[in-house]
């Protein structure tokens, strides 16, 4: 590892290092012999902390994505219905299932689902190539451009959508807009840039909480967008809400450009279009990063924590797709108002998880905090699997009040396993993993639900709870091994 640049070490880093002298080392903070030391080069921190951070960027970007996603699906439904001459609507009486299904409605549902799949898959396939490129490039060129460019790409996507709506072009042009957004990194690049920025400016003790704050921004903006979007569409149609989406993306890009201060020292000679950025991501997982002295156990931890993150987020995305479907059907037969309350309760868990994480960190290691969060999620999913009444369903939502505590811990642990000069590459790969979680979770859970509902309607939720035991076991075993290793090193010294 390069010799540390003392001019680039923040005052709080020195205080934190001094406070750790009398404490046993945290194995997650050990990487190549020097824990948490900012190296020289393009990724070194500025001499003083930035006056503002990236939470507003992530909040605004997530708001725009959460606002437009359901509106796009509804617009596709309406346009395809119009093209096929279908004027019906779903019956509000969910108990009456004796009526034969309308074949035209089934065709509309199929075509809408297919176009949704094409649009999402197109954005994913382009983004999985571009996001690692941008993330690794930000390690040398600076974070701010990686926050600005994807928001401009998202704004360009909305412009295409508005042109389609004004000129009533074929819905296939929605795919063109999504591909243009994917070429700029899409929302995943914003995620990678924001989490890498927080890793740059936070010390190692506060990093988990700072990451949890970003996670809470995702939940709050998603809840706000869900409330606004549905009401506004019913009142004024599709076009005006999409103008708000455009304004939000532009505001996020403008804020990042004007107010977010660089967290790394940019290298003006850094090139974007080069294979070294993808190689940096590959080296991260094949050799454990650019630091010397990294052993096999360290690389295994990087892979295992990534696997845990994949399983946890896949369960989150997959089960979230089924909540509304589960609540609409018998025996719950919820109205739109109750579904809204359920969605609000789910999003409020982001706040309760943030508060719970902050409180638990005072007496527990991060790994045990993650296990408590997974236990909350598992218990809630088990209750969902047997819920046959409104009271029991809301009990499940209440028991999930800490279900988001695990993901910020996993992001933080991954961040501590790599060099400061590799944070962009790491979080770019994590963003791609998160995007693949959405595809895998949606495909798996939406296929499993109709295949198993004839013998147990809530089996899919029970299956999700069982899957979460895998990351819980991995996190627990790794923490026990880390503690045993720390005790052995302490006894040897």
Q: What are phi and psi of 434, to 5 degrees?
A: -65, -40
CATH number assigned to the domain covering 291-493 = 1.20.1250.20
Name the CATH superfamily, with its identifier, for domain 50-88+104-259: MFS general substrate transporter like domains (1.20.1250.20)
Q: What are phi and psi of 210, to 5 degrees?
A: -65, -40
Cβ neighbors of 311 (< 8 A, separation 6 or more) are 467, 468, 470, 471
In 3-state terms, what secondary structure has residue 275?
Answer: coil
Pure H helices in 202-295:
207-236, 239-258, 276-286
Q: Which two tokens stand for residue 446?
A: 């939406």
Q: What are phi and psi of 351, to 5 degrees?
A: -70, -45
Q: Residue 423 and residue 191: Cα distance in Å, rounded?
A: 12
The domain locations on the chain are 50-88+104-259, 291-493
With vertex at residue 282, the alpha carbon angle to CA 278 and CA 286, rounded to the nearest 5 degrees, is 170
Q: How far apart are the first and last CA of the chain?
A: 23
- pTM: predicted TM-score of the whole model, two decimal places: 0.76
Which pLDDT belongs to residue 167?
94
Of 316, 252, 294, the residue nearest 445 (C-alpha): 316
Which pLDDT belongs to residue 253?
96
**294-329 burial: b if 16+ Cβ within 10 Å, else e:** beeebbebbebbbebbbbbbbbbbbbebbbeebbbe
DSSP code for 454: T
Cβ neighbors of 89 (< 8 A, separation 6 or more) are none
Which pLDDT belongs to residue 236?
84
In 3-state terms, what secondary structure has residue 67?
Answer: helix
Chain-centre distance for alpha carbon 493: 41
Q: What are phi and psi of 474, to 5 degrees?
A: -65, -45
On the question of a common fold for 50-88+104-259 and 291-493, the answer reads yes
Q: Residue 351 and residue 180: Cα distance in Å, rounded?
A: 34
Q: Which two tokens stand for residue 479?
A: 């923490």
Helix axis angle for 103-141 and 186-201, nearest 10°, is 40
Number of residues assigned to the chain:
493
How far is the CA of 476 from the CAs of 166, 366, 483, in angstroms?
A: 55, 11, 11
Q: What is the pLDDT along the chain (493 residues), one digit of tens a residue?
A: 343 443 333 333 333 333 333 333 444 443 433 333 343 334 444 434 455 689 999 999 999 998 888 888 888 888 988 888 877 554 444 454 445 556 787 788 778 878 887 888 888 889 888 888 888 888 888 888 899 999 999 999 999 999 999 999 999 999 999 999 999 999 999 999 999 999 989 888 889 999 999 989 988 888 888 778 777 877 888 899 999 999 999 999 999 999 998 888 877 777 776 767 667 777 777 765 544 445 677 788 999 999 999 999 999 988 887 887 788 777 888 876 787 788 878 888 889 999 999 999 999 999 999 999 999 999 999 999 999 999 999 999 999 999 999 999 999 999 988 888 788 888 888 888 988 898 898 888 888 888 888 889 899 999 999 999 999 999 999 999 988 988 888 888 7
Q: Residue 284 and residue 299: Cα distance in Å, rounded?
A: 9
Which pLDDT belongs to residue 85?
84
Of 159, 138, 140, the residue nearest 149 (C-alpha): 138
Cβ neighbors of 52 (< 8 A, separation 6 or more) are 259, 260, 261
In 3-state terms, what secondary structure has residue 1?
Answer: coil
Q: What are phi and psi of 486, to 5 degrees?
A: -65, -40
Chain-centre distance for alpha carbon 255: 21
Dmax (CA) of the chain? 79
CA atoms within 13 A on the CB side of 160: 19
Q: Residue 343 and residue 334: Cα distance in Å, rounded?
A: 12
């Amino acid at each position: 590892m390069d010799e540390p640049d003392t001019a680039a070490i923040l005052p709080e880093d020195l205080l934190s290092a001094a406070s750790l002298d009398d404490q046993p080392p945290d194995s997650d903070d050990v990487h190549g012999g020097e824990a948490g030391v900012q190296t020289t080069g393009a990724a070194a921190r500025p001499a003083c902390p930035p006056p503002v951070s990236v939470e507003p960027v992530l909040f605004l970007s997530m708001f725009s994505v959460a606002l437009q996603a359901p509106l796009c699906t509804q617009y596709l439904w309406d346009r395809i219905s119009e093209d096929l001459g279908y004027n019906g609507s779903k019956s509000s009486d969910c108990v009456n299932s004796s009526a034969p299904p309308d074949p035209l409605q089934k065709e509309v549902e199929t075509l809408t689902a297919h176009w949704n799949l094409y649009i999402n898959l197109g954005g994913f396939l382009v983004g999985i190539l571009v996001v690692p490129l941008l993330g690794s490039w930000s390690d040398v060129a600076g974070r701010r451009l990686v926050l600005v460019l994807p928001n401009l790409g998202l704004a360009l996507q909305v412009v295409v959508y508005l042109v389609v709506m004004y000129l009533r072009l074929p819905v296939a042009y929605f795919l063109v807009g999504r591909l243009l957004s994917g070429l700029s990194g899409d929302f995943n690049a914003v995620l990678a840039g924001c989490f890498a920025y927080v890793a740059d400016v936070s010390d190692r003790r506060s990093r988990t909480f700072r990451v949890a704050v970003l996670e809470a921004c995702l939940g709050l903006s998603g809840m706000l967008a869900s409330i606004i979007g549905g009401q506004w569409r019913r009142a004024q149609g599709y076009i005006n809400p999409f103008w708000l989406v455009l304004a939000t993306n532009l505001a996020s890009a403008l804020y990042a450009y004007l107010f977010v201060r660089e967290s790394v020292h940019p290298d003006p000679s850094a090139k974007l279009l080069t294979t070294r950025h993808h190689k940096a991501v590959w080296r991260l997982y094949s050799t454990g990063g650019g630091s010397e002295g990294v052993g096999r156990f360290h690389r295994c931890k990087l892979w295992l924590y990534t696997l845990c993150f994949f399983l946890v987020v896949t369960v989150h995305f997959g089960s979230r797709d089924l909540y509304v479907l589960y609540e609409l059907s018998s025996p719950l037969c919820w109205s739109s108002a109750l579904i809204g309350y359920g969605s609000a309760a789910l999003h409020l868990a982001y706040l309760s998880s943030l508060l719970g994480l902050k409180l638990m960190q005072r007496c527990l290691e991060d790994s045990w905090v993650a296990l408590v969060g997974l236990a909350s999620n598992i218990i809630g999913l088990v209750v969902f699997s047997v819920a046959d009444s409104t009271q029991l369903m809301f009990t499940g939502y209440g028991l999930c009040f800490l279900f988001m505590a695990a993901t910020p811990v996993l992001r933080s642990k991954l961040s501590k396993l790599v060099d400061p000069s590799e944070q962009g590459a790491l979080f770019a790969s994590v963003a791609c993993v998160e995007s693949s979680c959405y595809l895998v979770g949606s495909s798996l859970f939406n296929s499993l639900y109709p295949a198993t509902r004839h013998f147990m309607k809530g089996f899919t939720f029970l299956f999700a709870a069982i899957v979460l035991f895998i990351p819980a076991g991995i996190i627990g075993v790794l923490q026990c091994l880390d503690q045993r290793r720390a005790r052995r090193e302490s006894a040897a010294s």
